[in-house]
Amino acid sequence: MIEVRDLSHSFKVGKKGSKNEIPVLKNISLTIKKGEIASIVGRSGSGKSTLLNLISGYISPTAGEIIIKETNVTSFNEKMWAMFRLDNFGFIFQSFQLIQSLTTFENVELPLTLKGISSTQRKKEVLELLESVGLHHHADHYPNELSGGQQQRVSIARALITKPSIILADEPTGSLDSETEKEILDLIKKLNEEQGITFFIITHDEEVAKISNHQFHLQDGVLTKGGAFIEV
């Protein structure tokens, strides 16, 4: 489902044209199979957000390859990435990233609008999904009228609405209390088990990583698994 081969990335520093670079990721290789939950655990600055941005095409690697669903996406241009993300990915963010001027229904509906789905079909699919994540009574509520857990459920519903095969989650419980965190993690496990969605989660929290089939650890740009360095 997701394969990363000898991936490295560096950020240029200094004036434009400078050759000074700071290495962030170093020769990373990993494979995530269809239907798995995989987590990347690391402290702030370890490179995990950079890895997520590379896999989702928001930045390009300095070296290495990224293969997603048997498609080599390493050299995709911006337009190709935009289409690929819309067709294959859902995103969950720590800060929810909901549009404050839109209702729960409208936030979840938005990706379907971008895909050109008819209004009748959009309404049917959104209402069914809100029911499944326990938000059917909050369809007309705005984000500032919802609790943090409810807002994250809206974010999850928005990620699911296009029926993606992969969901990329950036600290999905980082803004939540421990009880609400458990509810969200239980929902992720349920979606994985019932719908076979592949989850790729980055987190600093070992408790979040415990729901994973595979845990990877990033430290100073080097990836490890199960306490041993991955062969690259």
Q: Are 148 and 180 spatial neighbours (Cβ–Cβ below 8 Å)? A: yes
What is the Cα–Cα distance from 117 to 113, expressed in whole angstroms? 6
Partners of 216 in the β-ladder: 40, 225
């992720």: which residue's tokens? 188
User: What pLDDT shows up at residue 18?
Assistant: 62
Average pLDDT per block of 10 residues along the chain, 232 residues long: 93 73 91 93 88 94 95 95 92 90 96 92 95 93 94 93 93 88 90 92 90 90 63 31
Of the candidates 44, 31, 66, 68, the residue with the CA atom closest to the CA atom of residue 171: 44
| Domain architecture of the chain: domains with CATH | 35-60+77-213 (3.40.50.300)
Q: Is 184 helix (H, G, I), strand (E, B) or coil?
A: helix
User: What pLDDT shows up at residue 17?
Assistant: 63
Q: Are 54 and 66 spatial neighbours (Cβ–Cβ below 8 Å)? A: yes
Which of the 8 DSSP states describes residue 191? H
User: pTM for this structure?
Assistant: 0.86
Residues whose CB is less than 8 angstroms from the CB of residue 231 and which lie 6 or more positions away in sequence, other chains included: 29
Distances (CA, A) of 161 to 1, 28, 103, 111, 172: 20, 31, 15, 7, 17
For residue 8, what are its two tokens?
Answer: 């490295």
Taking residue 140's Cβ as centre, other Cβ atoms within 10 Å add up to 10
Q: Are 27 and 41 spatial neighbours (Cβ–Cβ below 8 Å)? A: no
Which of the 8 DSSP states describes residue 23? E
User: What pLDDT shows up at residue 94?
Assistant: 84
User: What pLDDT shows up at residue 67?
Assistant: 96
Q: Are 208 and 175 spatial neighbours (Cβ–Cβ below 8 Å)? A: no
User: What pLDDT shows up at residue 230?
Assistant: 38
Q: Let me know the angle formed at the C-alpha of 97 by 178 and 210, rounded to the nearest 5 degrees.
A: 35
Q: Are 145 and 47 spatial neighbours (Cβ–Cβ below 8 Å)? A: no
User: What pLDDT shows up at residue 226?
Assistant: 53
